[in-house]
Amino acid sequence: MPIESINPATGELIKRYPELSEADVSEKIEETHKAWLSWKTSSFAERASYMNQAASVLRKRKQELAELMALEMGKPLKAGEGEIEKCAVCCEYYAAHAEQFLSMETIETEAQKSYATFEPLGVILAVMPWNFPFWQAFRFLAPGLMAGNCAVLKHSSNVGGCAVAIEEIIREAGFPENVFQTLLIGSKAVDKVIENPLIKAVTLTGSTSAGMKVASKAASLVKKSVLELGGSDPYIILADADLNLAASVCAESRLINSGQSCIAAKRFIVVKEVAQKFTELFKEKLAEKVMGDPFDERTEVGPQARQDLRDELHQQVIKSIELGAKCLLGGFIPEGNHAFYPPTLLSDVKKGMPAYDEETFGPVAAVITADNEDDAIEIANDTIFGLGAAVFSKDLKRAEEIAAHRLNAGACFVNAGVKSDPRLPFGGVNQSGFGRELGIYGIKEFVNIKTVYIR
């Protein structure tokens, strides 16, 4: 089957890419393995020179790549430009710090000398989603290549142009041939790739169901996997919070990438003393956001990436309303052959509703009223996920205690929206996945931590 790219703002076909055959895939993996045999012996300085050049190529092509994202998955241009800049910063960060992060660690024992070294594993398979088509790839590629690994990418089928562009960027940056290659294949071909003995590990960002399948396959072959999966991030608003700040941050976080982000705020848990006031302010902030053509510089909310995903989101909204939630904003499908869905606000959300129990991957905000602080924390933790969380309070000591010790998530922020940063470890717990990306911990996920002992 061909890989099809469809414009979500118009429903029009952009391009078809022929899917690689099983033989073609095997050949590409073999080529990448051969490239690794040399790449693994390269110096950090050599790798850094290529990685810094990749940052330059990204910036040079920023406008073009932002337009490609707008075309293929509906990302507003300004957001696309920001994504490319973030990729460039990530490349520069690991170019500057990889050698330090992977330096030998001396360990005192009775031996004359004992230490740990960090050596590359080989060819890593990256299975990546459409929502941040460049960032998701580069946040793995930058540390992965700097660690001495090589990689092949199976990207989401609706962003084939972005997948091809990533390989072009690596090539234009001057990296040795085949240290990275894109595999234009469908999801059904992933198992065969994992089975290839030259694939040493796999990293996946995507849905929990996809992560379960990939992790199960990798585990059956005793291959390591790192998973960044879904989330239903709770944002707690306490009685002493700055409500204007909270409403602004919550609106920005809920609508990041038109609501299509694993770490976008999803559930807004407000103590009852300030629930009405916060909800009013929150509604105002959401209503201010401009939905429209992703190529229009004024647009803040573009279309959803695919019509089927938009329709599934709408059904979650309809079901929640049928079960008693109140729709204060949005909640309808605009007419036309497109995938737009307006910013939507639901209040009176309770356990048993999709807006409470499930991940809503789109611009739908669920306000949940809590009796008090303890009840808010209990509601926040009442989820199968555990990716990000935030708490808003003017009492920073109390808020920090909640973030550091009482919320079950991989990243907890105080008076700020959850975000990924090359300097900080990123990942989740429970059904949001395992392992970490970014920071010093991310670069150490796909290395052999080798003990050396000299008597």
31 is a catalytic site residue:
no
Q: Identify whether residues 198 and 239 lie together within a single domain.
A: no
Q: Which residues in the chain land under pLDDT 50?
A: none
167 is a catalytic site residue:
no
Distance CA 452, CA 455 (A): 10
Q: Identify whether residues 203 and 246 lie together within a single domain.
A: no
Instruction: Give the per-residue pLDDT at 357.
Output: 97
Instruction: Give the per-residue pLDDT at 2.
Output: 79
Annotated active-site residue in 19, 228, 359, 445: 228
Q: Identify whether residues 379 and 238 lie together within a single domain.
A: yes
Instruction: Give the per-residue pLDDT at 192.
Output: 98
Q: Identify whether residues 259 and 275 lie together within a single domain.
A: yes
User: What is the residue whose two structure tokens read 């729709």?
Assistant: 327
User: What is the residue whose two structure tokens read 């050949």?
Assistant: 27
Q: Identify whether residues 155 and 268 lie together within a single domain.
A: no
Q: Identify whether residues 225 and 370 lie together within a single domain.
A: no
By residue range, what is the domain housing residue 166? 3-229+430-454
The pair of structure tokens assigned to 413 is 């922020």
Q: Identify whether residues 198 and 258 lie together within a single domain.
A: no
Q: Identify whether residues 199 and 245 lie together within a single domain.
A: no
Here the CATH number for the domain that contains residue 237 is: 3.40.309.10
The alpha helices in 366-409, defined as continuous H runs, are 373-380, 396-401
Annotated active-site residue in 87, 250, 262, 412: 262
Q: Which residues contact 405 (CB under 8 A, 6 or more apart)?
A: none
- Whether residue 205 contacts residue 67, with contact meaning beta carbons closer than 8 Å, is answered with no
- Whether residue 129 contacts residue 160, with contact meaning beta carbons closer than 8 Å, is answered with no
Here the CATH number for the domain that contains residue 10 is: 3.40.605.10
Chain centroid, CA 382 distance in Å:
22
Strand partners, 225: 202
Q: Identify whether residues 224 and 240 lie together within a single domain.
A: no
Distance CA 115, CA 98 (A): 18
Instruction: Give the per-residue pLDDT at 452.
Output: 98
Q: Identify whether residues 196 and 130 lie together within a single domain.
A: yes
Strands (E) in 415-446, as ranges, are 433-434
Q: Which residues contact 335 (CB under 8 A, 6 or more apart)?
A: none
Q: Is residue 425 part of a domain?
A: no
Q: Identify whether residues 141 and 250 lie together within a single domain.
A: no
- Phi first, then psi, for residue 145 (nearest 5°) are -70, -40
The pair of structure tokens assigned to 341 is 């869905």
